Each structure stands twice: as structure tokens, then as C-alpha cells.
Structure 1
Amino acid sequence: MNIFIVRHCKADGQSPRANLTEEGDTQANRLAEFLYGKHIESIYSSPFVRAINSITPLAQKLKVNIITDDRLSERILCAGNHPNWREMLRNTFNDLELCYEGGESSVTAMNRALSVIKDIRESGLKNVVIVTHGNLMSLLLKYFDNNIGFAEWEDLSNPDVYHLQFDDATPIIQRIWC
């Protein structure tokens, strides 16, 4: 089984309703070309507009519906805006149980994303795309490879694509976007 985890393309903000930028629209079309030959059977996406719009060109080319799933929504770090949010985020990679007021711990977010993977693996599908957000994506990857952390999150691009190839419980993980 192959799961392609996609971080959304460049957007004009962090709001759930934020649209893609003009560059993001171009990236979405590139992403569709990149994933087109991968025999994708199904697409699951965060309900955030930027995630859906990132994968819509592929869905249209494949004539596949996008299944939105709230479990793929961006992880909420904390309530409100904090000037030191990056340091706060770094701390949550070191302490997966750390939960700031109004936020979600890394382990809680990770488990929510893992439940999507579990459902997809039980579906019988062979090639699936999941579209989500950088923090949730990096936490999901961290579950399978504990060496992934804050530095890898910082290194993510918009968009980005990781291939998880499952032959057993632990997948082979490969970053394939260039």
C-alpha cells in the first residue's frame, strides 16, 4: 500500500478559509502533474480551503472525489497568537505530551492523524493521497520515524510530498517532492 502525504501549497494565511496564492495555484497544478501517474484511487483532505484547493487539480484530472476529514485539520498549538510560537512548537516535539492552553498536544494530534492512516489501511485501497498541514504532517511522520522533529518541520516546503510504502506495520518513508 502507498500513501502519499501532501502538505498544502502556498496560501495567503492560516485561517481555515485562506485561499492559495497565485503561486500556490501554480504549485497545485504542478502537484497534479507530479502525482498523476501514481495510480491514485482516493484522496483525503483537511477541510481547510488551502488543502482542498491544493489537490483539486489532481482530483479533476483523475475524476476522483475529495473526501474531507476533520482529523486532517491543522494542529492547534495554543489559544491566541504568541510571539514565541516557534519555540513553543519546538518544545512540543521534545515533549509530545506538552499541551498549551487552548491547544492540542503532539501525541493527541498524532493519534488523530494516525486514525486516518488506520482507516485507509483497512479500506483495501492501494494508492491514496492525504492532504494536510505541515505540523500534522511532521507529527505523523515522527510517529513512524522518531528522528523526525522540529528541524524536519522547518525544512518542509509548500507543497511537500512524502511517500509511505507499507509492506507491514512500519512504512518505508521517502520525501519525493523536489
Structure 2
Amino acid sequence: MKKLYVVRHCKAAGQTVEAPLTAEGFEQAESLADFLEGVGAQQLVASQFLRAVQSLEPLAKRLGLEIRQDERLGERVLSARDELNWMEMLKAAYEDLDLCYEGGESGRTVMNRALAAVQDILATDAEITVLASHGGLCTHLLKAYDDSFGFESWKVLSNPDVYLLTFDGDAVQVERVWN
């Protein structure tokens, strides 16, 4: 049985790849480390976005582990353009996983790249892994295992948030564990 803690990053100062955590986000990262320190993590994996890496740095320091970065865990690109009605567009894209806006990627594409990253994580010797990513990717990953996840689930995610995926043979249990 393998366990994967799926973490949405702590509060960040922006949406770019280089956007760091805010002062509050750094405090949240310490609280996240307090929460996850005792779970027995053997491996830490994060999106290449700075905010995801910084969310795991206090935990990595405490456990003496490196954070492996995986570009497949990067945030979803909804569209290449800034859209005023992006929230409506996002909702439609959750309802139709194959909907793809100009310069963006479909929900199915996001889900498939997240699943490919998870398969590589599960193929390692680590029994317990902590993965840090973004709201859009996390929600699509959770939807792959529990179809009830979607737009409304994304809207209520906190920064940070933590879900536990427990893999037992072909069965996968999804549970929100963050308070």
C-alpha cells in the first residue's frame, strides 16, 4: 500500500512560475511541515513553480530530503490570453474535460500529465510521498480517482490544502486531511 499526500501550495504573491510565497505563505509552509512531519514521507516532489517548492522547503529541511521538481505538476494553462471571464471559462472547462481554449490545455490533458507523474512516483521504492502542486492540477488529479471533483471542489480549496491518496492494489481512496 502506497500513500501520496497531494498538497496545494501555500499562499503566493502571484501566478507566474517565479512568484514566491507571501509572508503568510511562509508561515503556512511551516504549519504544513508541522502537519506532515510525522507521516513518514520518504520522497518529496513538487511542481517547478517556486511557490510549490517553497511550500515544501520547511518539511524537506526537517526530514533531510531533497525536493524533486517535475514539470508535469505545473499549473494548468487555461488560455494564452488574459480573459475577463476566466472563471466562467474555467467552469465550462471542468464540465467538458476536452474543452481547450486558444493557447491553453484541456482538463483531460492536465489530468493525463498529472497521472503520468503519479505513475512515476508510484514506481519508486518510496511508500509515502508528498507532492506539491497547484489548485487546477490537484483538482484534476483528484478527479481522476473520484469523479465528484470539479469546479466547485476547486473553488473551495484552501492555501494550503492536503488530500491523501491511498493506493491499495487497484483501489484508490481519496480523503481530505487538512484542517
Query: Which residue in 2 is equivalent to 1:100?
Result: 101
Residues 144 and 170, structure 1, Cα contact 8 Å, conserved in 2: no
Q: For residue 36 of structure 2, what is the amino acid of its counterpart? A: L
Structure 2 counterpart SS, 1:140: helix
Q: How does 1:1-178 map to 2 (within 5 A)?
A: 1-178=2-179
Percent identical residues: 47
Consecutive unaligned residues in structure 1, runs of 5 or more: none
In 2, distance between residues paired with 1:69 and 1:117? 10
| C-alpha RMSD over aligned residues | 0.6
User: Per-residue displacement from partner, 1:33-71 (whole Å, max 9, x unpaired)?
Assistant: 100000000000001010111100000000000000000
Structure 2 counterpart SS, 1:101: coil
Q: For residue 63 of structure 1, what is the amino acid of its counterpart? A: G
In 2, distance between residues paired with 1:9 and 1:169? 31
User: How far does residue 169 in structure 1 lie from its aligned partner after superposition?
Assistant: 2.4
In 2, distance between residues paired with 1:36 and 1:108? 32
Structure 1 counterpart SS, 2:171: coil
> Runs in 1 of length 4+ with deviation above 2 angstroms?
none
User: How far does residue 80 in structure 1 lie from its aligned partner after superposition?
Assistant: 1.4
User: Per-residue displacement from partner, 1:49-107 (whole Å, max 9, x unpaired)?
Assistant: 10111100000000000000000000100011101101111111110000000000000
In 1, distance between residues paired with 2:88 and 2:144? 21
Residues 43 and 66, structure 1, Cα contact 8 Å, conserved in 2: yes
In 1, distance between residues paired with 2:149 and 2:4? 18
Consecutive unaligned residues in structure 2, runs of 5 or more: none
* Aligned length in residues: 178
In 2, distance between residues paired with 1:130 and 1:161? 10
TM-score where L is the length of structure 2: 0.98
User: How far does residue 121 in structure 1 lie from its aligned partner after superposition?
Assistant: 1.2
Q: For residue 17 of structure 2, what is the amino acid of its counterpart? A: P
Q: For residue 52 of structure 2, what is the amino acid of its counterpart? A: A
In 2, distance between residues paired with 1:112 and 1:139? 10
User: Per-residue displacement from partner, 1:87-138 (whole Å, max 9, x unpaired)?
Assistant: 1111111100000000000000100000011111111310001100000000
In 2, distance between residues paired with 1:40 and 1:145? 23
